[in-house]
């Protein structure tokens, strides 16, 4: 039995080291692209009220520069900080799109938007 314990713990240690090595090799998620990933969501769910014909709250969501400029309540997003971005807050608390408007932002889309904003360092 005593001979078994060192072998057991060695195996446990090797298993742990292999798991740490595998995590270290994981690539970080790529930042979402505005035109490819973000804009299609906005086109489907937001731009009918925040675009060329209508600008609810004087917010235009068709370009990154317009989102950074914002509307009546200021910039829609804070690059590098999704938690302090009004856009995310309004979507998270289901204030946007309005309850009578569909389709709504899905949890997966919201997570993608958060990741996009958090990876926007230096784009102001």
For residue 2, tell me if it sits in a domain.
Answer: no
40-46 contacts at long range (C-beta below 8 A, 24 or more positions apart): 41/105, 41/109, 41/112, 41/113, 44/103, 45/97, 45/103, 45/104, 45/105, 46/96, 46/97
For residue 81, tell me if it sits in a domain.
Answer: yes
For residue 90, tell me if it sits in a domain.
Answer: yes
For residue 50, tell me if it sits in a domain.
Answer: yes
Range(s) of the domain holding residue 48:
34-118
For residue 61, tell me if it sits in a domain.
Answer: yes
For residue 47, tell me if it sits in a domain.
Answer: yes
Per-residue pLDDT of the chain (124 residues; tens, 9 = 90+): 556 556 655 655 556 655 655 565 667 889 999 999 999 999 999 999 999 999 999 999 999 999 999 999 999 999 999 999 999 999 999 999 998 888 999 999 999 999 999 999 755 4
For residue 19, tell me if it sits in a domain.
Answer: no
How many structural domains comprise the chain? 1
55: which residues sit within 8 A by CB, 6+ positions away?
A: 71
For residue 5, tell me if it sits in a domain.
Answer: no
Where b means 16+ CB within 10 Å and e means fewer, 77-115 reads bbbeebeebbbbebbbeeebbeeeeeeebeeebbebbbb
Q: What is the pTM of this model?
A: 0.75
């Amino acid at each position: 039995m005593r001979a078994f314990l060192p072998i057991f713990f060695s195996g446990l240690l090797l298993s742990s080291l292999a798991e740490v090595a595998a995590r270290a090799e994981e690539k970080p998620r790529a930042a979402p692209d505005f035109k490819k990933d973000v804009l299609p969501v906005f086109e489907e769910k937001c731009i009918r009220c925040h675009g060329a014909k209508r600008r609810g709250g004087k917010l235009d969501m068709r370009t990154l520069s317009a989102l950074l400029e914002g509307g009546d309540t200021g910039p829609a997003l804070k690059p590098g900080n999704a938690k302090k971005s009004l856009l995310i807050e309004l979507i998270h608390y289901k204030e946007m799109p309005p309850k009578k408007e569909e389709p709504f932002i899905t949890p997966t889309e919201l997570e993608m938007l958060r990741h996009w904003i958090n990876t926007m360092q230096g784009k102001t």
